[in-house]
Amino acid sequence: MVPLTWYLLLAAILFGIGLVGVIVKRNALIVMMCVELMLNAANLTFLAFSRAKGAVGGNATAFFIIAVAAAEAAVGLAIIIAIFRIRGSVNMDDVRALGEKADAVEP
Amino acid sequence: MTITAELVTFFVFAIPLVMTAVGVVTARSPMYAAMNLVGTFFCLAGIYVLLSAHLLAFMQILVYAGAVMVLFLFVIMLLSLGGEAQEVEKLKAMQLLGGLSAVALVALIATSFREVAETPMAAVQPDFGTVKAVGRVLFTQYLLPFEATSLLLLVAIVGAVVVAKEKI
């Protein structure tokens, strides 16, 4: 039997990789992919605890997380397309019209 | 700890899972990152089966590796970012600091596992995690969130069309 801790550790590693990607990468598409990684890590934690407690409720919650992630991907990618259309770039550093006026890149 | 088939299966899926997840972050081109992400989703589905979440493993492949990744690939093709490798991004000090603190966060989470370390895996019914068992919970106890999800998906469809369309 694989102990619960290993699943949780795997989820933590997955979450950490996603978090590093969100912080370090500047390509908006890859940042979105890393957000998906983090959501999957949360899913894995829910399923691990669901299995450890023998409660099906965790499975239902993971189901909702998948639905939310699908919605998030659809809207997020639409926003990226809109930004690309306006600014011609998917670099996150180019999109700072709402703040950091000092070195803002105007379109 | 004795080596069981379950243990071997765990590592068969866990090691490629971490490797492909690292590949998502380190890949130069978004296309390679997307391909690595597909591998991550498939390995994760295998882990879900080990946790006897059969319905969720199926949904993982269907929704993530199927629908979401196709969406990602469409956008990569549409913006034609796949061909040229992205120029090497030079790390700013803030990003480096952020990455290090993310690693520290993982270490912090790992140390907090001591409190759950003794929790044994419960003995479960043979139908745990099947469509029938999860569906029964979804349509009784979680009926309201389930219906709210349908509204959320509708809003997402309309929102995506409105945001991405040039002229309505």
For residue range B95-140, list pLDDT tens digits in order.
888 888 888 988 888 888 877 777 777 777 878 888 999 999 999 9
Question: For residue A68, is pLDDT > 80?
Answer: yes
Of A33, A36, A43, the C-alpha closest to A65 is: A43
Partner-chain residue, chosen from B18, B96, B116, that has the shortest CB–CB distance to A4 = B116
Instruction: Give CA–CA dist A95/B89, Å, rounded.
Output: 16
* SS3 track for B72-96: HHHHHHHCCCCCCCCCCCCCCHHHH
User: Is the CB of B128 less than 8 angstroms away from the CB of A62?
Assistant: no
User: Is the CB of B40 less than 8 angstroms away from the CB of A40?
Assistant: yes
Instruction: Give CA–CA dist A70/A63, Å, rounded.
Output: 11
With pLDDT > 90 as the criterion, what percentage of chain A qualifies?
Answer: 54
Average pLDDT in the A21-48 region?
92
Minimum distance, in Å, between the CA of residue A20 and any CA atom of chain B: 5
The one-letter amino acid at B34: A
Q: Where are the alpha helices (DSSP H) in B112-168?
A: 131-140, 143-164
Instruction: Give CA–CA dist B144/B128, Å, rounded.
Output: 22
Average pLDDT in the A68-89 region?
90
- For the entire predicted model, the pTM comes to 0.88
Question: pLDDT category, A107, cuts 50, 70, 90?
Answer: very low
Count Cα atoms within 13 angstroms, Cβ side, for B7.
Answer: 6
User: Is the CB of A51 less than 8 angstroms away from the CB of B59?
Assistant: no
Q: What are phi and psi of A91, to 5 degrees?
A: -80, 130
Residue pair A85/B166 in contact (Cβ under 8 Å)? The answer is yes
Average pLDDT in the B133-151 region?
93
Tokens matching residue B21? 């997840």
Number of independent structural domains in chain A: 1
For residue range B7-23, list pLDDT tens digits in order.
899 999 999 999 999 99
| Chain A / chain B CB contacts < 8 angstroms | 228
Average pLDDT in the A50-79 region?
92
User: In CATH, what number is assigned to the domain containing residue A14?
Assistant: 1.10.287.3510
Partner-chain residue, chosen from A33, A59, A85, that has the shortest CB–CB distance to B72 = A33
User: Is the CB of A73 less than 8 angstroms away from the CB of B98?
Assistant: no
User: Is the CB of A77 less than 8 angstroms away from the CB of B71?
Assistant: yes
Look at A101-105, B35-39, B62-66, B143-147 and tell me which has the smallest mean pLDDT.
A101-105
The one-letter amino acid at A29: L
Tokens matching residue B127? 């139908």
Mean pLDDT of chain B: 86
B7 to chain A: nearest residue by CA? A2
In degrees, rounded to 5, the angle at the alpha carbon of residue A94 between the alpha carbons of residues A92 and A96 is 85
Tell me which chain B residues have a C-beta less than 8 angstroms from the C-beta of A60: 134, 137-138, 141-142
Tell me which residue range forms the domain holding A94: 4-103
